[in-house]
Amino acid sequence: MNLFKNLSIKLKMILIIQLVSLLSLLIGFSYMIVRNISDYKQDMISNANINANLIGEFSAVPLAFDVSENANETLEKLKSIPSIEVGIVYNNKNEIFAEFNPQENKIDIHPSDIKNSGSYFKDNYLHIFQTIKYDNEFAGTIYLQVSTEELGAKITSYLYTMLYLLAGLLLVNYILALALQRILSDPILKLTNATKKITAEGDYQLRVEKYGNDEIGILVDEYNNMLEQIYIREESLKLRTTELSNALDDLTNTQRKLIDAEKMAALGQLVAGIAHEINTPLGAIRSSVENIKSSLNFLLRDYPEFISRLPAPLKESFFNLTRDSLNNQVMLTSKEERTYKKAIIKTLEEHQVKNAYSVADSLVDMLIYTNVENYLDLLTAEQSDEIVDMAYKLSGLQRSRGNIEFAAAKASKVVFALKNFARIGHSDEKIYANVIDGIETVLTLYYNQIKQGVEVTKTFDDIPEILCYPEELHQVWTNIIHNSIYAMELQGKMDIRVYTKEKDIVVSITDSGKGIPPEIKDQIFKPFFSTKPSGEGSGMGLDIVKRIIEKHNGNIEVESKPGETTFLVYLPIEVNAQTQLNSAS
């Protein structure tokens, strides 16, 4: 098996074609051989039966009148048929009436065979029994012992012929396999060689030549499309800022595509927060780009002269300072920054470094907050202000790049969540999806409201994907989470848990809001019922939630008391085919 794995693709294809062809030929030839040998035997039996019938007709009268001489004369005629070695005529008492046995072969016949017509092969002979009747009365039995030597020779000759034919067909098949493998393997080998070249050179503009519209041609098309996509994505990195700026326009277009009124209302409430979440990283990107532009202009103009003027003993320390700043990637909290600044200022003042506060501020911004003593030769030098300023601008490039990456990732996450949320996707068919992904999408969109004072805790177990309508479940989580935030007035705690219980996935969303009064608890799922002031709610949210969950053959429950309200959603992991059919109807 390992040897087969290491063979080239050409040899593999030839072997596969040969093995399949050989198997097919063996099956076909085996059937033909068995069928023809059976026909040969049947022909021999038929010929022997004809001879037995003739002898029986000529022996019927002698048997009836007990004249054995005539029967013996008839049997003597069997000498003209070399294959018949024994012929015996029995009377109706199972006694030998006439016999032809020139070679005096031993005859061992069971008495029960004598009175029945039949045939069988045994000990290289065909044994034939044929009853003889006279005036429709049983008169006796004719027995013939026929040699199968001629039959064996005929079968042997036939087997050799079939073997030669099989060998010839395999040779022809091998020639055809050589030609066929070239048609199939050459495009694959060219695709492989192109992949190696692209891997070695990184040239994603290279394209593989297409030779046809078959499956391999489709593979080549998809491969070329993949290369095109990779090339486009590389180029798109240069346009990241522009794409993020256009994301705000996509929000408006997305709203127009929503056909569900309640989902449209929820999205309308989120637009301002989402715009803020995108504008914030865009502003950071613009600011970082300006910093990079300013720093590059300054460095390109002044850095060479600065390095040339810097005394040799200080150059290594300067390079160490900039390298340590670029290598440090840990982001500090405001509290940590204040703590480190105080410690650095104290160290600098002890060593009489001028402008200790300003220098400490710059060092912390450069993420140099430990082992400041290693750079005292720079900080106490005559041109220390210029050295710190130059190092700060160099590390500023790294900080700006990190800011751009972080801001772009954050904006991309929001845009991705929005696209998932806004996708219409009202398909009549369910698909497999993870419930947790939908909850995370909704939380991302509500982040601007949550961060104002809602503490969210999440406990997500490993759960299987379920067959569902993901976009409709998005609306379930949107309505429940929105209602929880509204009930807490943007201040409180929200606990979200996802786990399995028996054959269900359970989603539990708990908030620390004022709770649902017992007298209206049974009405919250009714259409047009709302506890919000007029104009702020349609009263359809929880009714739609309940309908969507029931469409998934699930169930929703609510438990509430002052300071704690929990919505429990049960979604079945497995649904039998009949239940799905009833749901669809």
How high is the pLDDT of residue 248?
52
Residue 111: other Cβ atoms inside 10 A:
8
Amino acid at 244: L
Residue with tokens 């033909």: 32
Residues composing the chain = 585
Amino acid at 583: S
How high is the pLDDT of residue 547?
87
DSSP 274-336: HHHHHHHHHHHHHHHHHHHHHHHHHHHHHHHHHHHHS-HHHHHHHHHHHHHHHH--PPPPHHH
How high is the pLDDT of residue 237?
65
How high is the pLDDT of residue 517?
86
Question: Residues 484, 414: contact at Cβ < 8 Å?
Answer: no
Residue with tokens 């606990």: 495
Closest CA to 44 of 159, 128, 100: 128
Residue 103: other Cβ atoms inside 10 A:
6
* Both tokens assigned to 248: 């705000």
Question: Residues 499, 569: contact at Cβ < 8 Å?
Answer: no
How high is the pLDDT of residue 500?
94
Alpha-carbon separation of residue 480 from 121, 279, 475, 501, 560 (angstroms): 87, 27, 9, 21, 14
* Both tokens assigned to 136: 């429709």
What are 549-555's contacts with CB under 8 Å, separation 24+?
549/476, 551/469, 551/472, 551/583, 552/468, 552/469, 552/473, 553/579, 553/580, 553/583, 554/504
Phi/psi-derived region of residue 371, left when phi > 0, alpha when psi is between -120 and 50, beta in every other case: left
* Both tokens assigned to 469: 């309508």
Strand arrangement, sheet containing 454-460: 454-460, 492-501, 504-511, 564-572, 555-561
Handedness of CA 256, 258, 260, 263 (dihedral sign): negative
C-alpha span between 425 and 472 (Å, rounded): 9
What SS3 class is residue 516? coil
C-alpha span between 5 and 129 (Å, rounded): 61
Question: Residues 124, 145: contact at Cβ < 8 Å?
Answer: no
DSSP state of 202: -
Burial code of 385-409, b = ≥16 C-beta within 10 A, e = fewer?
eebbebbbbbbbbbbbeebbeebbe
Burial code of 431-470, b = ≥16 C-beta within 10 A, e = fewer?
eebbbbebbbbbbbbbbbbbeeebebeeeeeebeebbbbb
Strand arrangement, sheet containing 84-91: 96-100, 84-91, 137-147, 125-134, 118-122
What SS3 class is residue 134? strand
DSSP state of 266: H
The rounded average pLDDT for each run of 10 residues, N- to C-terminus, in the chain (585 residues) is 50 70 80 86 86 82 78 76 84 82 76 77 86 83 86 86 84 74 66 74 69 69 75 70 60 40 52 54 59 62 69 75 71 76 79 79 75 75 74 67 58 54 57 90 79 88 91 86 86 94 93 87 74 54 85 91 93 59 42
C-alpha span between 125 and 149 (Å, rounded): 8
C-alpha span between 20 and 277 (Å, rounded): 62
DSSP state of 532: S
Residue with tokens 């480190």: 340
* Both tokens assigned to 114: 């004598």
* Both tokens assigned to 139: 């008169």
Closest CA to 142 of 104, 86, 103, 102: 86
How high is the pLDDT of residue 56?
81
